[in-house]
Structure 1
Amino acid sequence: MVVDTISELILKPLTTNEIKPKGWLLRQIQIQAEGLSGNLDKFWPDIKESKWIGGDKEGWERVPYWLDGFIPLAYLLNDDDMKKRAKKYIDAIIHGQEDDGWICPCSKVERERYDMWALFLLLKVLVVYYECSKDGRIEEVIYKATKNLDRHIDRFTIFNWASTRWFEMLIPIYWLYERRNEDWLLNLAIKMKAQGFDYQALYENWPYEKPQAFGHWSQMNHVVNQAMAIKSLALFSRISKQEEDKTFAELMIEKLFEYHGTATGIFTGDECLSGNSPIQGTELCSVAEFMYSLEHLIQITGETKWADKLEYIAYNALPATISPDMWTHQYDQLVNQVECSRIEEGSQPFNTNNGEAHLYGLEPHYGCCTSNFNQAWPKFALSAFMTTDKGIACVTLAPSTVETAINDVDVKISLSTDYPFHNKLIFCVNVSEPVEFAFDIRIPGFSSSATVNGADTKSGEFYTISKTWNNEETIEVVLQFETEFIERPENMVAVRRGPLLYSIAIEEEWKMVNYGNKEKLRVFPHCDYELFPKSQWNYGYADKKIEYTFNGVSDIPFSTKEAPIKAKAKVVEIDWPKTNGVVTKVPVDRKPISQLIKEVTLLPYGCTNLRMTEVPYIDLEK
């Protein structure tokens, strides 16, 4: 394969200087800044005392993971204190770079066994920092580190996490090539693929139709690796120019969802792929990384289907595994989750994680998610608008504003909406002087119908308005959604309406885990909690008529107590027990305990902490 350039992106991302969240999305990232994400460097040893800044704690992935979200969060909020704290880490990392370009915190004798995944991640972070800050030092730092990597892997090929995540290095390589245009960078990209794990061979000969035996752990079916790798060959297609590379993500997603999919739009993995049971867990890191993969697929292909998937995960699986105040999170979320209490070893539903992985806390089970989950919301906010060869596209639907220039004319487009909780979108387009460009509005594929300024349009496509724009113009988009009862394994169903999945709400009691007076780290507000149910969960749907009420978005968008939208459904009680705090995979008996039909509240999945999502439909006429 002769490589002489890289292909252009169909949709090009904008920066924190051009996109700003507003409305409920702004409030959501403010909550994140007020919670764990915005405070980890103040108290968590793996960030506060990391080897990356001269300390003696973890000096591998956790600081880069945290910075990957903290940096865009700081700049989206234009928070001077957060920017200053981010710069402190960047300054220390740059100061630690050695003359030969090596930048990771280890001794020279340790280099040959250093897992270079941390470098790939760090260089991605430096790209993010440059795009936010325009710091003039960054390009040379990345150049020297990448040169060093090119020499290093000729002697010490990549292994372990670097091997299974080789494609992540393509992101800083491409960024650098667009600035330096040096052929060795493209050759390095080819070396990365040659030395990296071959996901194509794995998925074309798929061995993971079922979860592996309890306790068996493998890099090859590790859930976060799969979530990351979904973008792998699409990224490489910018070099190969091969259509099959660009579409490989479709094969991966087909296999993952056929054997390990859930109603939430994410696949199970705790930490390895775990089947399609609603009581298997999904690691939070995989949610954040699947979103990031989809953002790249959108840019490379320009296809709206990837934006549909991105939104669905962002509005369901992401908020459901983080407490509404964003001070605590789970390592594993369960689709049917009636209790989050400590489970004795050997009794947990997880194949490879311990019985505390589903607690809400600082670092349940393992701390990678503590540092990594915070990239999801800021990067999602940055996916709202992108540029095209002919203008601007609204890619994901969330309240936000873009300010940029087209043909040297200032253009501002603002989206006001309570979507996904409500169905109306109001765009306001302002231009400083007349200018011609195309404005593309994505109409979600899960809308049953849609209108733009009263005119019918197709779902699952971009609606394009190409014209000369003058002064200020308003565009109104109205989306219609229908209730769907999604079929799930074991003759179960889940309720979905448009971009939101719904769950039977369970009242909850939060109990702080008491680790004793000597505990200094897991203390309020960054403490651990067990959650216990205070209402019933053992129901099956008895009617397909669901009634919805929009209540407006509160100060906490994904609030359990003040959910923006609620629904009422008719159910009957069935025999569905729990053991060790976990419901059985399916009910013991689907015959109603009584003929009494009850009305229960359904909440958006993302507004729940305890929930029943995949349940049977009981036909009372049989």
Structure 2
Amino acid sequence: MRSYFKIKSFIIAGICIITSLLFINWGKPIDESVTVVKRITIKSTNKFYISNKAPLQPDQFIKLPAGSIKAEGWILKYLELQRDGLTGHLGEISAWLDKNDNAWFSGTGKGDHGWEEVPYWLKGYGDLGYELHDEKIIAETKAWLDKVFQSQQPNGYFGPTFKQNDYTDLWPNMIMLWTMQSYYEYSNDPRVIPFMTKYFKWQTTVPDNKLLQTYWENSRGGDNLYSIYWLYNRTGEKWLLDLANKIHNNTADWTQQNNLPNWHNVNVAQCFREPATYFLQSKDSSFLNATYTDFHLIRNIYGQVPGGMFGADENARKGYDDPRQAVETCGMVEQMASDELLIGITGDPMWADNCEDVAFNTYPAAVMPDFKGLRYLTAPNMVISDSKNHSPGIQNERPFLMMNPFSSRCCQHNHSQGWPYYAEHLWMATPDNGLAAILYNSSEVTAKVGNNKEVSLKQTTNYPFDENITINITDANAVEFPLYMRIPGWCTGASIKINGQHVDITPGAGSYVRVERKWKTGDKIEIFFPMHVTVRIWDKNKNSASVNYGPLTFSLKIDEVYKLIDSKQAVAWDSKWQANADQSKWPAYEIYPASMWNYGLTLNDQPLDQQFEIIKKAWPANNFPFTQNDVPIMLKAKGKLIPEWTLDKYGLCDTLPQSPVAVTTKETDITLIPMGAARLRISSFPVVK
């Protein structure tokens, strides 16, 4: 009898152990399927969100309709600053937005002014309203668009009726179409689809020798192409694909080997995506490859600098490739938009990496902390921000380095798209009816997934200033769907927990973790992206060095002195303001250094964690980490002054000396802060010995 009970106990114990192993599954719930993927395997089409319709190449990721994502954390703060600052009030300031005799607001296309400025501004202004659910902004956007609808002529053309040398300039209309597309996604206004259809019907009647002939429209025809595909995906009318071929064939050739149609910095940042857009229809990989080639070509020649951009000033010039060469604010926001579009087309996480690089490191310092002024040009190495003419040190001849709300026609208006578009791409839908965390920031997304169930996910993080990201399922009723989480290209050793249990995977940098399971309210995902100090040597730019901590690039902390100046005097020739604009509310500033900036970085053979001290501070109470005083992280490093490295005859920091630089000055402690918080900065350091 004892033997029987021993055997029975042994069997029961064994069953218990086996059952436990089955349910524990070495730290993973049994109903969980976790994989690491480089790209999505597309076997179906998303049932709930419009994506590319056959025969177009299917999307890897699908943009959610405007208003689906509620920004939180520091990105919400940025949107609020835009609303309360230049973006939200530009209609009261800019003469180009004056409704009186404005060709965009007349309802007839006639007026004494009206080109790219109105659609540039509306493109981001409207999306800002949809993001914040701001009824005042939404109503103002609609008031402008109502006039655009009225302006459509019987033949289908809309907007201003100005012509250039007998050519109808389609460039400003391209921007307005993007504004219409966001408006439709938010409102479902039934006027939009027939409006765009009629306009594109008109384009089919324009002879090739009259189509896309002027400089801007010819360079930027890819934006027109994208809108054609947007409409085709909603109507399926085959003639639109014929028009797409026509537009592509008349757009500047961005597929050239070792050359670009032009080297204007905004054109490059915006137009290099055209071949990848056309790849959706042609399915010819050479077009997709051309976009990658263009991206690397400009950076190989002029982009040996940190911050995700390149140093072209307005137009890149051979021999001018030092980190003191700048990029327009327009170029920054267009590069971000290109990255966001390309992540959908290709699924390649490198585009999200580049978008974050620009968004975190280059773009924030191009605007004032209160978002009431901006700079036309910003460089990785920039130690003075004044109203003087620095040409030919920089390519532009006018006062383009100062912070001024009236500084230019383009950036003054085009800046508006930067953060709203970024916020709209934090989350994207997937072809397998799931969701993907693409760009990390505190936010809440509400979307349909799985078998037509609506869910809400809330992301909480101080990324990129922190390594931890939490995603909570705040509203889901046992619905099965895949959730993708991007692993940044800079990150090794990422780890994930689901409901407190470690997921037994080793995701590589530049990949996605895909988790498919039945999600329910209360489920919690914890993501850890370990950050370390890294140093990048730019061997094609004097062996200079830049310092990173995770996705953040760091700059020398230079004491900044702000000098108030007359914002209506030190402006470019094409800057205009409304007569009743209150200058006192919209000041302009020059920024001067009040401490030494000409330091080289001391590096040795010791591990980097012994050469740099990481200092972390409390998160700022105002939720805005992009100022010198409020950055939550700094680095202590060692450096030496380089006495010969001074301002040059053009009033710019001189070009980099060749590293390593031999100096006799004493080694000293230097402080580095995130590049995005440094409106004066040295981000590419000479290395001293």
> TM exceeds 0.5?
yes
The aligned counterpart of 1:200 is 255
Could you say what secondary structure the match of 1:60 adopts? coil
Tell me if 1:582 matches 2:624.
no
Cα distance change on mapping 1:600 and 1:110 into 2, 3 Å: closer
* 1:466 and 2:516 matched: yes
Does residue 386 (structure 1) correspond to residue 446 (structure 2)? The answer is no
- 1:506 paired with 2:574, answer no
Q: 2:126, 2:352 → 1: CA distance? A: 23
Q: In structure 1, give the amino acid aligned to 2:218.
A: S
In structure 2, the residue matched to 1:224 is: 266
Match 2:78 to one of 28, 40, 52? 28
CA distance in 2, matches of 1:69, 1:439: 29
- Out of 581, 593, 598, the residue aligned to residue 668 of structure 2 is 598
Distance in 1 between the 2:136 and 2:581 partners? 23
Partner of 2:683: 613
Is 1:559 equivalent to 2:614 in the alignment?
no
1:282 equivalent in structure 2: 327
1:418/1:345 CA distance change after superposition, 3 Å: closer
Q: Is contact 1:418–1:553 with CA below 8 Å preserved after alignment?
A: no
TM-score normalised over the length of structure 1: 0.92
2:225 and 2:278 in contact (8 A); partners too = yes
In 1, the alpha carbon distance for the partners of 2:476 and 2:326 equals: 51
Contact kept, 8 Å, 1:522 with 1:528, in 2: the verdict is no
Question: Which residue number in structure 1 is paired with residue 297 of structure 2?
Answer: 255
TM-aligned CA distance change 1:190 to 1:569, over 3 Å: same
The aligned amino acid for 1:304 is P
SS of 1:374's equivalent in the other structure is helix
2:468 aligned with 1:424, yes or no?
A: yes
Q: Which residue of 2 aligns with 1:525?
A: 585
**Map of 1:215 onto structure 2:** none
1:338 and 2:383 matched: yes
Task: Give the drift of 1:111.
Answer: 9.1
Q: Within the alignment, does 1:269 sit opposite 2:312 as a pair?
A: yes
Shift of 1:57: 5.2
Residue 323 of structure 2 corresponds to residue 298 of structure 1: no
- Which range moved further: 487-496 or 271-280? 271-280
CA distance in 2, matches of 1:593, 1:35: 47
Give, in angstroms, the shift of residue 314 of structure 1: 0.8
Q: What does 1:7-156 align with in structure 2 at a 5 Å threshold?
A: 7-49=57-99, 50-54=102-106, 56=111, 58-106=113-161, 112-154=166-208, 156=210
8 Å Cα contact 1:446-1:459 kept in structure 2:
yes
Q: Contact conserved, 2:71 with 2:442, CA < 8 A, in 1?
A: yes
Deviation at 1:522, TM superposition (A): 7.9
What's the secondary structure of 2:86's corresponding residue?
Answer: coil
Alignment of 1:541 onto 2:606 = no
**2: CA distance between counterparts of 1:451 and 1:375?**
33
Name the residue aligned to 2:36.
none
CA contact (8 A) 1:74 1:82 kept: yes
Q: What per-residue deviation string (whole Å, max 9, x for no partner) do you get for residues 12-67 of structure 1?
A: 01123321111111111111111111111122110123321138453111111111
- Counterparts of 2:125 and 2:97, CA distance in 1: 12
Query: In structure 2, what residue type is equivalent to 1:578?
Result: L
In 2, Cα distance between the equivalents of 1:4 and 1:468?
31
The verdict on how the C-alpha distance between 1:112 and 1:151 changes in structure 2, with shifts beyond 3 A counting, is farther
What is the CA-CA distance between 1:330 and the residue it aligns to? Answer: 0.9
Is this contact kept in 2: 1:268–1:283, CA < 8 A?
A: no
Moved more, 225-234 or 149-158: 149-158
Bigger Rg over Cα: 2
1:157 equivalenced with 2:211 (yes/no): yes
Alpha-carbon deviation of 1:73? Answer: 0.4
Aligned to 1:487: 537
Q: CA separation in 2, counterparts of 1:370 and 1:315? A: 20
Structure 1 residues 510-563: Cα deviation after superposition (integer angstroms, max 9, x where no partner): 112236899965823323221111111011112451222232144223122211
Paired residues of 2:542 and 2:657 also in contact (CA < 8 A): no
Q: Secondary structure at the match of 2:375?
A: coil
> In the superposition, relative to structure 1, how do residues 561 and 436 fare at CA in structure 2: closer, same or farther (>3 Å)?
same
Q: Retained in 2: the 8 A contact 1:281–1:332?
A: yes
Superposed CA RMSD: 2.2
Report if aligned partners of 1:24, 1:553 keep a CA contact under 8 Å in 2: no
The 3 A distance-change label for structure 1 pair 4 and 377 is closer
SS at match of 1:269: coil
Change (3 A) 1:344 1:393: closer
SS at match of 2:217: helix
Report the Cα offset of residue 385 of structure 1. 0.7
- Give the C-alpha shift of residue 355 in structure 1: 4.0
Between Structure 1 and Structure 2, how many residues are aligned?
599
Separation in 1, partners of 2:646, 2:475: 61
Identify the residue that residue 368 of structure 2 maps to in structure 1: 323
Q: Which moved further from structure 2: 374-383 or 514-523? A: 514-523
Shift of 1:155: 6.2
Question: For the residues of structure 2 that align with 1:31 and 1:515, how far apart are their CA atoms?
Answer: 20
Q: Which ranges of structure 2 fall in alignment gaps of 5 or more residues?
A: 1-52, 570-576
Distance 1:75 1:451, change over 3 A: same
1:426 shift after superposition: 0.4
Number of the residue aligned with 1:439: 483
Given the superposition, is the C-alpha separation of residues 487 and 520 from structure 1 closer, same or farther in structure 2, using an over 3 Å criterion?
farther
2:38 aligns to what?
Answer: none
Structure 1 residues 57 and 285: CA distance shift in structure 2, 3 A: farther
Question: CA separation in 1, counterparts of 2:656 and 2:138?
Answer: 49
Counterpart secondary structure, 1:548:
strand
Higher mean C-alpha deviation, range 476-485 or range 271-280 = 271-280
> For the residues of structure 2 that align with 1:57 and 1:522, how far apart are their CA atoms?
23
CA contact (8 A) 1:577 1:587 kept: no
Deviates more, 1:428-437 or 1:515-524: 515-524
Q: Which residue pairs with 2:403 in the alignment? A: 360
- What is the match of residue 180 of structure 1? 235
Q: For 1:105, what is the secondary structure of its paired residue?
A: coil
Shift of 1:370: 0.8
1:573 maps to a residue whose letter is L
Provide the C-alpha distance between the structure 2 equivalents of 1:93 and 1:317, rounded to a whole number of angstroms: 34
Taking structure 1 as reference, are residues 497 and 113 closer, same or farther at Cα in structure 2, changes over 3 Å only? same
Report the TM-score when normalising by structure 2: 0.83
Cα pair 1:385 1:402 within 8 Å, conserved = yes
Q: SS in structure 1 opposite 2:88? A: coil
Deviation at 1:431, TM superposition (A): 4.2
Q: 1:105 to 1:573 in 2, by over 3 A?
A: same
| Structure 1 counterpart of 2:200, one-letter code | T
Match of 2:485, SS? strand
Identity %: 28
Structure 1 residues 344 and 69: alpha-carbon distance in aligned structure 2, compared to 1, 3 A threshold: closer
In 1, Cα distance between equivalents of 2:625 and 2:97: 28
Query: Are the counterparts in 2 of residues 4 and 183 from structure 1 also a CA contact under 8 Å?
Result: no
Where relative contact order (Cα < 8 A, 6+ residues apart) is larger, the structure is 2
Give the counterpart letter for 1:182 in structure 2: E
Structure 1 position 470, deviation (Å): 2.5
Contact 2:543/2:658, CA 8 A, preserved across alignment: no
After superposition, give the CA deviation of every residue in 1:309-331 in whole Å (9 maximum; x if it has no partner).
Answer: 11111111111211111111111
